[in-house]
Amino acid sequence: MVIKKYEIRDPIYGFIELDSWERDIINHPAFQRLRRIKQLAWTDMVYPGAVHTRFEHSLGVMHLATLMYEKIVNKKKDYLENKLGYNGSGLENDKKFVRLAALLHDVGHSPFSHAGEGLMDTNPDTDKPYKHENYSAAIVEHKFKKVIDEHPFNQNYHITAKQISDFLVGGAGLGRRLFWRSLVTGQIDADRADYLLRDAYHIGTNYGSYDLKRLLVTLTIAEHPETGAPMIAVEEGGLHAAEALIIARYMMFTQVYFHHTRRAYDHHFAGAMKSLLLDVAKQETFLPPTSQENIDDYISWDDWKVLGLLSQGKGGEDGYALKERKHHRCVFYTSEVPTETELDRSNEVLEELSRFKPFVDEPKKSWYSEGESDIMIESDIAPDQKETVPLSSISSVVRGLLPIRRRRIYVSLGNQKEAELLLNRKGG
């Protein structure tokens, strides 16, 4: 059976190649839904060019994960064969597996991407809200089973939707494929590497730029300094390329993802979406990814559906703010790394503005996690002797980039002037 090849023109990589099987997956309605989910939610209210979608990002992640896989295999084939037991067919099989997992990693995003993630139901197993990865895994297992398990081109691979589902959430039974999971979810994965370049391109900034070519040629396999387990790392020659990736993430976070107006729109969307869910589904959260029926309901929601409801005047006060662009305004903020004095002052401001019903916004997690999930650098300490260390332990640049903890306080547009006058009188 001949597998036909196709090309899709892409603004970042030029062309993205795919085969008939991948094309059939892309043509599935659950994947086409990603055309109707913007990558950066309401960011186009600040940067008008930010209207790209999860669809093109998913294609880009598949392409970039493939480049990473091929670079590592070409460089460390002996290691993969002798230490992990691979042969030629096994490497080709897992290459296809990584491509499909990367392609499908975002099918579980809610309307307006991460802006809707706070509306997911609680997972009783963890007592924490579900994440979009849980929905992606459930959608793959429930909706893509036929186009994966039963596809004619799968006869040589024997890949199942359940295997991809487990891979996306780090489930049990992955075997040696667990090694490749960091290409899809990790500090130096194809997901982050693609969205930095893609977001910066569409926004029209250079904040997300880094040396992708250098990063690719310095990817390698190293062994964990404590456990000895194989892991994907960067050679010492790619140290500065890895630093550039981290700086790009820092700049994109401070200038784009945590932009004060963008965050106001995220706040309004959460309120409007909660109102819409109550109105349509009679509950404040999306249904959990625990059944075929729930999944069907979940994927019926996309940006188009939400925008249609908002255009009808639904969504409450927050829906009105979104539709009329009358978002809340920031009237007080701390520095990016606030002192205790600044935090104390922010609490005082909250009390002073209490009658205006302000809302507080601050990062819920760090833009970069050090420690076990740090990018690992393999350096030469002697002839034929290598040492693998966390990037943050040898890079003064990365160590100097502290977690952003800026706290902002917003009030409604109608109360902005009065709130600012009050704070000015009190030296706020």
pLDDT of residue 372: 45
Residue 58 DSSP one-character state: H
In 3-state terms, the chain is what percent helix, strand and coil (to 5)? 55, 15, 30
What residue ranges do the domains of the chain occupy? Answer: 205-256+372-402, 328-367+403-428
The pLDDT, as a whole number, for residue 241 is 97
What pLDDT score does 254 carry?
Answer: 94
Which residues of the chain register pLDDT less than 50?
Answer: 370-372
**pTM assigned to the model:** 0.95
Crossing angle for the helix pair 161-169 and 132-143, nearest 10 degrees? 180
Which pLDDT score, from 0 to 100, does residue 326 have? 97
Are 242 and 375 in contact, with CB atoms under 8 Å apart?
yes
pLDDT at residue 364 in the model: 79
For the stretch 1-51, pLDDT in tens is 677 899 999 999 999 999 999 999 999 999 999 999 999 999 999 999 999
pLDDT of 57 reads 98
Tell me the CATH number for domain 328-367+403-428.
3.30.70
Tokens matching residue 41: 């939610």
CB 109 within 8 A of CB 34: yes
* pLDDT at position 103: 98
- Give 177-184 contacts, CB < 8 A, sequence gap 24+: 177/94, 177/97, 179/84, 179/230, 179/231, 179/232, 180/69, 180/94, 180/97, 180/98, 182/231, 182/232, 183/65, 183/68, 183/69, 183/98, 183/102, 183/232, 184/61, 184/65, 184/98, 184/101, 184/102, 184/105
CA dist 270 to 45, 81, 303, Å? 16, 49, 13
Burial 363-395 (b: 16+ CB within 10 A, else e): beeebbebeeebbbbbbeeeeeeeebbbbbeeb
pLDDT of residue 371: 44
